[in-house]
Structure 1
Amino acid sequence: MEEMRLTAYESSKLYKEKVKKYNDKTLLKKDFQLGQQVLLFNSRLKLFPGKLKSKWYEPFTIKKVRQYVAVELCDPQSKDPDRTWVVNGQRLKQYHGGAMERLNTVLRLDPG
């Protein structure tokens, strides 16, 4: 019985290593620099799907690049230039310029 358990454990370990190698190959390496403009993926849009709505939200400026793909962003159109937040770099893509239409969705939940 002990031998079967050890064999299953080893098999599981090998499988996990293979899956990790495959997933690491599919991830894109993104290099961000200070002052670069990026678009932020709008994950909340999945709740209210629309064919013509952009899933990428306005250009933000990178204020600081941290370890482990964490990026500190600031909104250049904001009234408070010190207002920043940290996001995962996998949710960002490079902004190449051009006009962006800002999407505002308002939901009103009327009681009764």
Structure 2
Amino acid sequence: MVEAKHKAFWAIKEINLDLERAKEKRVTQLYELVELTLEAYDNSLVYKEKTKRWHDARLKSPKEFNPNDKVLVYNSRFKFSPGKLKSRWTGPYIVKKAYPTGYLEFYGNGNTFKFNGHILKVYIDDINAIALPEMTPLR
């Protein structure tokens, strides 16, 4: 019996149940937890800013069309494969009016159409009109 009390006293002495020190240690741990939380919040803001800069740098500028430009329209009605060599672009059509919201009014084949500018691309009549870079021969 005396031996059990001695072991219990020894365990309490080892644990050191000093309440003031335990309280200080717990408060210190809470402050460290708050600091870690604030640091994680700051790091997430830095990550979001870097991601936004990366995303914004890769955004494409909107397509600009002017009246009397020739355009091709993407035909999205092909649900199944139309064939390897069949083009999904129809046209050319002539732009009648370009609205600031991004859609265009154009005409072709005696009809007038309105489409979003995202499914259009510029049609080039003369391939020689494109400026190509000088090519150096391979040796």
TM-score (norm 2): 0.51
Q: What displacement does 1:39 show? A: 0.5
Greater Cα radius of gyration, structure 1 or 2: 2
If each structure's helix is expressed as a fraction of its own residues, which one has the higher value? 2
Matched, 1:48 2:80: yes
Q: What displacement does 1:31 show? A: 3.8
Unaligned runs of 5+ in 2: 1-36, 127-139
Unaligned runs of 5+ in 1: 99-112
Give the Cα–Cα distance (whole angstroms) in 1 for the partners of residues 125 and 92 of structure 2: 9
Aligned length in residues? 89
Alignment of 1:20-99 (within 5 A): 20-21=56-57, 23-24=58-59, 27=60, 30-45=63-78, 47-49=79-81, 50-67=83-100, 70-78=102-110, 81=111, 83-88=112-117, 90-97=118-125
Q: Deviations over 1:2-23 (max 9, x none)?
A: 32123112212212212220x1
Q: What displacement does 1:28 show? A: 6.1
TM-score (norm 1): 0.61
Q: What displacement does 1:57 show? A: 1.3
RMSD: 2.6
